[in-house]
Structure 1
């Protein structure tokens, strides 16, 4: 038996303002219990593409949604997610994900990102034939290095032609949100705050306030992860140091993004295989 594998792969420097990361996951050969075959994902402002090269995957209903689990095709597109999501692999599976900045996707394709918030769709329903042909080649590739090469060879020239003035490599959601605000104010004819907000919503499908909330939550997550590793977690101090009004405010935001309180999330990250994405994200 082998251990489940998960990896976060950085894009090349020339695509760092467009591609946030690649994610690879495999449970082939791993002896997992049914609950360990779940995959818990946080809410995210990102969008992207997902490939399933082996096995099956089902998107599970969350919250008050009482629909049946949805079997996902081998190639899907997902928009920004305003709430946490859960998927399930009934058996061994292997997959790969491309995480794109939503403003970059809009610049590359003209896709209305706002219409894709909280949606997961077959790839061909969102992207054109050239993108779908690239995706099919990625699905057939034999390893992660080949997948990255195929994606970057396709995106790099298009990004070179489409990239917006002022777009910079994304190191954190906070830097990205601030950069969007600057670009939105400098773009177009009108430079009022209302017009800048409209541009940000058109580029990302989300308001600047929503993006700033996600950036603050990400910053606290990284601080908390470091504190957990050091064995010294003080949620009240983390909340105060990150600009939350109080610990309750921080806990509400954590539940919106992850579905769990900070302390429960900490335990699940340490003990639960299905929270693998939280352990590798950085």
Structure 2
């Protein structure tokens, strides 16, 4: 896998020195794995407000190892009030897709690896239906088979994160070769993946009407075609905005037009629905809010890929 390290923040930045990294898959796993993400805040004492992590609504599923520390799913709208209800997550857990933005909170230092998978890959690799995990997490030690349990123990015992990534890759590569759907195609973005999924749904079974295709997609992903299209468009707008930010000031009207929104207001409404923040607020938080480290990593990976 190809590693992307978050560079150190400039002197005076309000962001912490926590280690964040992302590994992108090689060609053989590109249809099954979107990325593996690392968060490591060991050795740092972060104030409560910096212990949150914000996630957008997403069709992706996750398999996460909390190697050090604990993590809690926060049940609240964003940004969450301090007295929000928190649910402790298992140290080895499987997360389904989320049709709304969410966040997590850690009580102190944390060291975690998160494997990101499209719903169809989750089904093929684990037998778990994404729709049954919609907006929730399950204990991996209870819902995954012996092969995954052995991998989990090996990941926990590995000497370092590079060794853990090698173990995950070595486990997934032969397994995916055996179970991959015949029509699975490489897709880097949610919108590309959805196009492939819609094509597969249209070619599955006897019925090919729009309604039948939509029913198949919802049964496979737990979400409607409209919801998935909205997430894909929002992801493209975010990544195009990251690129525009690098090249100069963002023109929100042009960005809305380029990414398929009716106008700037439509872009703002959809961004808030998917991320919990308006585009301007999300942009500010990318520079100032520790909790947006996932967004910063995802944007950094896009810049790396565009430069290659």
1:153 matched residue in structure 2: 170
Q: Name the SS of the counterpart of 2:85 in structure 1.
A: coil
Q: 1:247-262 alignment to 2 at 5 Å?
A: 247-262=264-279
Measure how far apart 1:200 and its partner are. 1.7
Secondary structure at the aligned position of 1:19 is classed as coil
Q: How many residues in Structure 1 have an aligned counterpart in Structure 2? A: 281
Unpaired segments of 5 or more residues in structure 1?
none
Correspondence list, 1:134-213, <5 A: 134-213=151-230
Q: How much does 1:108 deviate? A: 2.5
The corresponding residue for 1:26 is 40
TM-score, scaled to structure 2: 0.85
Q: C-alpha displacement at 1:188, in angstroms? A: 2.4
Give the ranges of 4+ consecutive aligned residues of structure 1 lying more than 4 Å apart after TM superposition: 64-67
- Supply the distance in 2 between the matched residues of 1:102 and 1:128 (Cα, whole angstroms): 18
2:71 aligned with 1:54, yes or no? no
CA distances 1:37-60 after superposition (whole Å, capped 9, x unpaired): 211111111002111111121221
Q: What's the secondary structure of 2:64's corresponding residue?
A: strand
Deviation string, structure 1 residues 170-201 (Cα, Å, up to 9, x no partner)? 22112111111111112223333222222222
- Find the aligned partners of 1:84 and 1:135 in 2 and give their Cα distance: 27
- Please tell me whether the aligned partners of residues 76 and 85 of structure 2 are also in contact (alpha carbons under 8 angstroms): no
* Among candidates 131, 135, 138, match of residue 121 of structure 1: 138
Q: Which residue in the other structure is 2:4 paired with? A: none
User: 1:55-92 CA deviation, whole Å, 9 max, x = no partner?
Assistant: 12122111399873112221111000111111112211
For residues 240 and 27 of structure 1, the distance between their equivalents in structure 2, rounded to whole angstroms, comes to: 39
The answer to whether 1:35 aligns with 2:52 is: no
What TM-score does the superposition give when structure 1 sets the normalisation length?
Answer: 0.93
Q: Bigger shift: 264-273 or 156-165?
A: 156-165
Which of 120-129 and 20-29 deviates more?
A: 120-129
Give distance in 2, aligned partners of 1:187 and 1:202. 13
